Structure 1
Amino acid sequence: MTNYSGVSRILSSYLGQENGSETAKTPDNFGADIFIDDFEDEFPMGDSADTEGWTPESRRANEGRPWGGKFGDRPKVHEVNQPVKAQERGWRLLDLHPNRNHKEEYYRLAGTPAELRILLQLVRATREMVGKNINFEEWFEQWEKGFPDAKEQRNGNFLLTGDKQWDRIKKPESRPRFKEWTTSQQRIDWGFRVIEYWRDRSNESDSVVLSGTDLQLVNHVIQIEYEAGGSNSKNKNGNWPPLKGQPQIKLYFLGDNKASAEISLRIMDKTDDPKNPLPKIDKLDLKNYARKIKELFAVPSLFVWEKGREVISYRNRWQGFEGWYLCKNEAAGRALLLKLLAITDSVLDEASIRLSTAPAGTFPTNPPSVFVLGEEVKSEIQRPVVDVKFHRAEIMLPKLKTPIALVEKSHIVYQ
């Protein structure tokens, strides 16, 4: 007869460890309860000798900064079903809050304690690798003040004091601010948040709505600051930068039945005016514009602008745009804008886009004829749905009387 007492003892011991019972007498009990306590504190070493040879950065847990944050911001693991219920079902259920002060972010994990120990560490590592560990509120607290805590290596243009400091930082009343639009439950359900952002908190009329994860919001705010991305972004004088007087690139398109169209954009970071402090535009710049236009609009084939009845407008003078364009649909309009912005290496700003659709029947494909001086005259089709191909491009310099040809179809003219 086989004796199973040894196997039973081993399984009982393993079950006791998996249950993580506080009353277990086994000295090597590494159950979930003991692991969780150390996990929340990032496994601090009790004896300083155990950390000999560690880098200063890796000692943060022993310095009361578990996982690189404040002690009060460390993770929190909440047990949903207690050990008794877990023994009945064969697994335990935990909620991991990466930051115990932000209950809206949590991850529900289930398994045996051995499995949970792996899952907890995988979730934590994954958040750090994808940037999910960034907390927007903490980042913004540093951002609005100009990162004052980053001062040890601060010897560049942006000093904590001096004329080159961001102007709004000198005056707390003009610093940026944001307002949360989403509730904690919406952030859980949607997986993103929505905020309203002001570059200058004293100007209530100048704001932009942003959405995304915390990391995406950081990128949005930085883009608005350094690329002037807000729909109402203004310069330090409170006005849009003027377009008149800036170099202007014009693109011409042709289609069937004599259909034609043209688009223009301004170069905002160059000038041909000797009195203007901007860098002076030169022949190399023109060659670069010609090369980019050819690559964007003529290679491998001529770009097709799908014109139609819908209107997509883009107003961002900082990027040299203030106009509207007829298109078949939003996708066609965005495709055109992306090409135009790429000429000057600009990035599409969502806050600057407006799309409008004409009511059905407003622009008929076969408009009725009208009588003029007693004679019937055929009406022209307004906003026809037609494809036009890129034909040529030129640049106008305000100080010159004639335009300079850049590209003709797929050939660079300016050499």
Structure 2
Amino acid sequence: MAGGEIVPYQGAAGVLSTYLSQENGSASDNTPDNFGVDIFIDDFEDEFPMPDSADIEGWVPESRRANEQRPWGQQFGARPKVHEVNQPFKAQERGWRLLDLHPNRDHKEEYYRLAGTPAELRIMLQIVRATREMVGRNINFEEWFKLWQDGFPEFKENRATTNFPLVGEHPWRGKTENKPRFREWTKPQQRLNFGFRTIEYWRDRSNETESIVLSGTDLQLVNHIIQIEYEGGGAGASKNLNRTWPLLKGQPEIKLYFLGDKKASGEISFRIMDKSDDPKNPLPSISKLDLTKYARLIKENFAVPELFTWEKGREVVSYRNRYQGFEGWYLCKNETAGRALISRMLAVAGHQLDESSLRFTTAPASAFPADPPDITVLGEVIGQNADRPIVDVKFYRAEIKLSKIRTPIFLNERARIVYE
């Protein structure tokens, strides 16, 4: 029906002809919009904002971002840009249209050339955009690095009790002049040609002599940098940075044993990093006087005025600082119990707690039930012991293991110093 007039049915051929005419445009009609994709492109670039009359108050915040000038979750100036390569009249002659999609109009080096009818282009534009988000190509390295080097100051909501302050001393390095930096090696055209970029990265911008070359996509570079920060960078980085975590193997190891009711027990250990019993090791040789000192410190921290109680439970308190000789996680009732345990071990090794090395992880009670149900194996009902039981265990004894001596050397038994 058009203008009140009933349009007669034209048959299947007529319907197809009308559809193709709308898709390909009319050679006699010079109006570009009639080609069928221009209006769609305008809305696509702005992520299809709803009209002012639409009721979007009840929508979740992310679904309202287009109407809040944040199309596709980006700043308005960084929204996509679709550039028309062959104009509508030329496209009408050939039967298809050619477009270049720039997912971020501020970064022209990334683009995707698309060709097809308007219906095909509408589908392809949305598929390319969605695929980028699913594979992580939507990450912009420069924007990420600005936040990284400053310790993510915009992320404030859950940092009331963080180990990393928002202001003052730099959270990654201690001082702002020590924050990381990078230098771009590849030009925009090279990044486009090769599909990756190469940078030179400094963990500490004040130290010009220690840098490492990183290469990959923006997402891969982010992963590289995080790995270097928390894991020392691996063998490739150690050659350039000369700054990796020290090895724990071969260093003197102190072990502490705990006992509780109903056969409950516990065992923890840490390494002494400033002494060695290996003549080839350049560190000072460990002495009998050192062993006496460790035994005395163990007694002071774990046996007097009463035996120290390790409150074991479902939660995990981990402490990773190889420079201090620690790389372990401990099951505790809560963070306070974990801190108490780790602090006393550190005191024996002659160190203080480093907050940046401490992590606390909670576990739901349903994951580790106190009374797990029985199971049936080969027709027999088998009772199951609780994983991560909540139990108190008290300090029982301590020993030290040296790499060149096969048997451990006993240091303490409860409040009594065995090695003197």
Q: Same fold (TM over 0.5)?
A: yes
1:17-57 per-residue CA deviation (whole Å, 9 max, x = no partner) reads 554989489xxx79210000000000011225342431012
Give the equivalent residue in structure 1 for 2:84. Answer: 79
Instruction: Name the counterpart of 1:89.
Output: 94
Aligned-pair CA distance for 1:223: 0.4
1:140 counterpart = 2:145: yes
**In the alignment, is the contact (CA less than 8 A) between 1:246 and 1:271 conserved in 2?**
no
Q: Counterpart in 1 of 2:325? A: 278
Partner of 2:197: 193
Counterpart residue identity of residue 34, structure 1: I
Contact 2:81 2:102 in 1 (8 A): yes
Equivalent of residue 159 in structure 1, options 149, 152, 165: 165
How many Å separate the matches in 2 of 1:204 and 1:48?
Answer: 58
How far apart in 1 are the matches of 2:62 and 2:191? Answer: 32
What amino acid does structure 1 have at the position aligned with 2:271? T
Q: State the distance in 2 between where 1:33 and 1:280 align.
A: 60
8 Å contact from structure 2 (residues 24, 95) kept in 1: no
Any idea what SS the aligned residue of 1:36 has? helix
Letter in 2 for 1:79: E
Distance 2:248 2:54 in 1: 70
From the superposition, tell whether residues 36 and 221 of structure 1 become closer, same or farther in structure 2 (CA, over 3 Å): same
Q: How many residues align?
A: 261
Unaligned runs of 5+ in 2: 1-8, 254-268, 274-293, 298-322, 330-399, 409-420
Contact 1:271 1:280 in 2 (8 A): no
> Paired residue for 2:229?
225
3-state SS of 2:209 partner: coil
Per the TM alignment, residue 182 of structure 1 is displaced from its structure 2 partner at its CA by: 0.9
- Over the aligned positions, Cα root-mean-square deviation in angstroms equals 3.6
Picking from 39, 48, 51, the partner of 1:43 is 48
User: TM-score, with normalisation over the residues of structure 2?
Assistant: 0.55
CA positional deviation for 1:233? 3.4
- Secondary structure of 2:85's counterpart equals strand
> In structure 1, the residue corresponding to 2:104 is in which secondary structure?
coil
1:159 is displaced (CA, Å) by 2.6
Instruction: Work out the CA distance in 2 between the residues paired with 1:194 and 1:111.
Output: 34
**8 Å contact kept, 2:248–2:271:** no
Alignment CA distance shift 1:52-1:160 (3 Å) = closer
Does 1:55 pair with 2:60? yes
1:184 maps to 188
Q: Which residue of 2 aligns with 1:311?
A: none
Structure 1 contact 80–95 (Cα < 8 Å) conserved: yes
Deviation of 1:245 (Å): 9.1
Q: Which runs of 5+ in 1 are unaligned?
A: 250-268, 283-396, 406-415
Conserved? CA contact 1:78–1:95, under 8 Å: yes
**Contact 2:32/2:88 (<8 A) preserved:** no
Q: Give 3-state SS (helix, strand or coil) of 1:206's partner.
A: coil
CA distance 1:245–1:193, shift in 2 (3 Å) = closer
Could you tell me how far 1:130 is from its partner in structure 2? 0.6
Q: CA deviation at 1:183?
A: 1.2
